[in-house]
Amino acid sequence: MRYIFLSLSLIFFTVSTVDTIFATELTAQDPKDQHLSSGVTRHFYVEPQRGEEAFYYKALNGEYFEITVKADDWIPTLSVLNANGELVDYKRNSENDFVVKMQHTASYEGDFTLFVRSKDHSYDTPIGGTASIYIKSKKPKSVILPPEHSLVSGEFYTITELQKHRSPEAAYETEGFIVRLYECPPCPKDALCEACAPNHIQISEVDLKKAALINDPGKFLTVYYDPLLFSDKHFVLNEKYHFTVNAKNTSRTNEPHNNFSLVSMKSFNPSQIDSEETPHRPQVQPQSGMWQRLQLWWKSLW
């Protein structure tokens, strides 16, 4: 009898262990372990309430990789985002097709986010279930290095040059017309206001009339400014200025993504007195001590 009980216990333990391993394999992976490897199939589970799951794949610059997602009884969609969080590719198949494939060539070395979502997912009719993802890649024959920095701090560059090149954290000179002004509106007292963009101006190499016909964002420069140093009265729309700007490249890819902040500006129009000199933060004069006040009082007697 004891042998029979022991055998049944071992059988029960074995079945329970298999079920546990199978269930663990199909549950959503630990966020710290969401990186995929080429040639390895990853099984996962999409919670119906979420209807989505994200993975990461680190590719070489110039690497070609093919992604295959196979879902069980639900229709998946696949989105690829670059390291800046920008959508670079999207794939959705027709109805009743539970497999989605996508090919992509990396334009930089770094992580890509692979975003799997159920096609019919909504809060009213959540859909999810088990699925698998597989990556097949072809490494480049030679590693493609990113372009070298070619901008020199303190030098003059056109707006187009500043946009196209990866800028190290440095100051540059440029000039252009102010074609857009933006100042975050004040929030009324005791009101709940949505966060707004930082105060900024947009400048162009051409005036406002010609700039209105341009659709290329690379022909414009968005320059953020400190409201303690500048205000809208220092900027005249459609006026040309010489600018000193601080630049910093924030892109995690080979494509430049430069942020610019205003240091100083000078108008080409001599009548624009307010813009001739950059305002400075008001300096608080230190309060004089007792000894300084006595000296001033003594000098006033003579």
Q: Which two tokens stand for residue 82?
A: 């670059």
pLDDT of res. 3: 46
Query: Tokens 């006033």 correspond to what residue?
Result: 300
List the beta strands (DSSP E) in 42-109. Answer: 42-46, 52-59, 64-71, 76-81, 87-92, 99-105
Q: Is the dihedral of CA 202, 204, 206, 211 positive or negative?
A: negative
* Residue 217: CATH number of its domain: 2.40.50.140
CA distance 237 to 28: 53
Asked if 165 and 258 sit in the same domain, the reply is yes
Question: Is the pLDDT at 285 greater than 70, yes or no?
Answer: no
Q: Which range of residues forms the domain containing residue 43?
A: 33-138
Band of residue 57 on the pLDDT scale cut at 50, 70, 90: very high
CA distance 102 to 286: 66
Q: Is residue 244 part of a domain?
A: yes
CA distance 211 to 249: 25
CA distance 162 to 178: 16
Asked if 169 and 125 sit in the same domain, the reply is no
Asked if 194 and 239 sit in the same domain, the reply is yes
Q: Is residue 9 part of a domain?
A: no
Largest CA distance in the chain: 120
Query: b/e for 159-175, b at 16 or more Cβ within 10 A?
Result: beebbbbbbeeeebebb
Asked if 270 and 168 sit in the same domain, the reply is yes
Band of residue 297 on the pLDDT scale cut at 50, 70, 90: low
Q: Last residue of some domain: 84, 109, 138?
A: 138
CA distance 111 to 82: 7
Do residues 156 and 139 make contact, with C-beta atoms less than 8 angstroms apart?
A: no
* Residue 113: CATH number of its domain: 2.60.120.380
Asked if 40 and 108 sit in the same domain, the reply is yes
Q: Is residue 6 part of a domain?
A: no
CA atoms within 13 A on the CB side of 82: 19
pLDDT of res. 202: 94
Q: Is residue 248 part of a domain?
A: yes
Distances (CA, A) of 20 to 46, 51, 55, 183: 18, 23, 23, 57
Q: Is residue 164 part of a domain?
A: yes
Asked if 199 and 117 sit in the same domain, the reply is no
Give 206's contacts (C-beta < 8 A, 6+ positions apart).
Answer: 177, 214, 219
> What integer is the mean pLDDT of 41-59?
88
Asked if 103 and 191 sit in the same domain, the reply is no
pLDDT of res. 142: 67
Question: Is the pLDDT at 233 greater than 80, yes or no?
Answer: yes
13 by DSSP, 3-state: which?
helix
DSSP-derived secondary structure letter, 267: E
| pLDDT tens track for 152-195 | 888 899 998 888 877 778 899 999 999 999 988 888 888 888 88
Asked if 193 and 226 sit in the same domain, the reply is yes
| Closest of 58, 69, 122 to residue 92, by C-alpha | 69
Band of residue 146 on the pLDDT scale cut at 50, 70, 90: low
Q: Last residue of some domain: 138, 170, 186?
A: 138
Q: Is residue 19 part of a domain?
A: no
Q: Is residue 20 part of a domain?
A: no
CA distance 221 to 94: 41
CA distance 259 to 250: 7
Task: Tell me phi and psi for residue 293, to 5 degrees.
Answer: -70, -35
Q: Residue 85: what residue type?
A: G
Lowest-confidence region among 22-31, 102-111, 126-135: 22-31
Asked if 112 and 204 sit in the same domain, the reply is no
Do residues 46 and 116 make contact, with C-beta atoms less than 8 angstroms apart?
A: yes
Counting the structural domains of the chain, the total is 2
pLDDT of res. 201: 94
Q: Is residue 15 part of a domain?
A: no
Type and span of the H or E element at 110 = strand 110-118
Adjacency order of strands within the sheet including 129-138: 42-46, 129-138, 64-71, 99-105
Q: Which two tokens stand for residue 269?
A: 């129009």
